[in-house]
Amino acid sequence: MSEHEQRPPAPQVRQQEQVRRGGGRHPSAAGRARLRAALLPRPTRAQLFTGLLCLLLGLALAVQVRSNTGEDLTSLRQSELIGLLDDAGDRGDRLAREVRELERTRDELVSSSDQSAAARELAQERLEQLSILAGTAGATGPGIRLTVAGPEVDAAVLLGAVQELRDAGAEAIQVGDVRVVASTAFVDAADGSVLVDGQELDSPFVFLAIGSAQTLASAMDFPGGVIPTVTSEGGTAAVEELEVVEVSALRAPSEPQYARPADPPSSS
């Protein structure tokens, strides 16, 4: 065989080299690329959301730790990071307890304020009651008007009328223009008049008393009472039950000479 006949055809060699060097991929290489893409993990939305939360939590924890201790989280071990997270949880629990304690204190203060307001209201009511009894405040309410007259009506008769009114439950009494209180004095004058706390009163004597009108009227008219006593001695006496009686006479408060307020008892 000649030398020309033994050489392979040149175009065939160039075609094989073009296949090896060409830009197209071999079918087996494309399959391996698809296999790698299928095996790579693809994060879901839940995983992305969880990762974002972890990132935010880590950033917040890092800022807190750095602001408080100045330490670098990168130098901490996993157990130390867990400890920091637990410590943050404990701080949250303590803050929650403090909030509950403050709310309880607020409720106690509100309750105390309510109790103080109720106590002030009760004290005001008690002050008004004592002022009526002491004669330093006017009073109004149901009651009676008692009128007695006659030459035999003296200080003893008037004092007896006051005592019977008190026994019948009179809460405020006025005779003439004088407010009757516990210390009121009745004294016979030389001209036949009666001095009531130093003020001269003449017949007829008019009493105004606040209380149960029926009870007060009955007390004035029972046997041995004011009306039978006065009428038996030639005088006149009459009682009227009224729905509204106004006791307007006032008595100036007097300063006690010896008595002083006592100290409140100790709580111990």
Segment 63-99, tens digit of pLDDT: 554 555 444 566 667 776 776 677 677 777 778 888 8
Residue 149 located in a structural domain: yes
Of 114 and 188, the structure prediction assigns the larger pLDDT to 188
d(C-alpha 33, C-alpha 64), whole Å: 46
Q: Residue 203 sits in a domain of what CATH number? A: 3.30.70.1880
Inform me whether the pLDDT recorded for 16 exceeds 50: no
Residue 66 located in a structural domain: no
Model confidence pLDDT, tens digit, residues 17-64: 444 444 444 555 666 666 555 555 555 555 555 555 556 556 655 555
Residue 113 located in a structural domain: no
Boundaries of domain holding 237: 139-247
pLDDT for res 63? 52
DSSP string across 47-71: HHHHHHHHHHHHHHHHHHHHHHH--
Residue 167 located in a structural domain: yes
| pLDDT category of residue 169 using cuts at 50, 70 and 90 | very high
- Average pLDDT over the chain reads 77
Q: Which of 68-72, 192-196, 250-254 has the lowest mean pLDDT?
A: 68-72
Model confidence pLDDT, tens digit, residues 128-150: 888 998 899 999 999 999 999 99
d(C-alpha 268, C-alpha 261), whole Å: 20
Residue 265 located in a structural domain: no
Q: Is the pTM of this model over 0.75?
A: no
| pLDDT category of residue 206 using cuts at 50, 70 and 90 | very high
Inform me whether the pLDDT recorded for 7 exceeds 50: yes
Domain count of the chain? 1
d(C-alpha 145, C-alpha 237), whole Å: 11
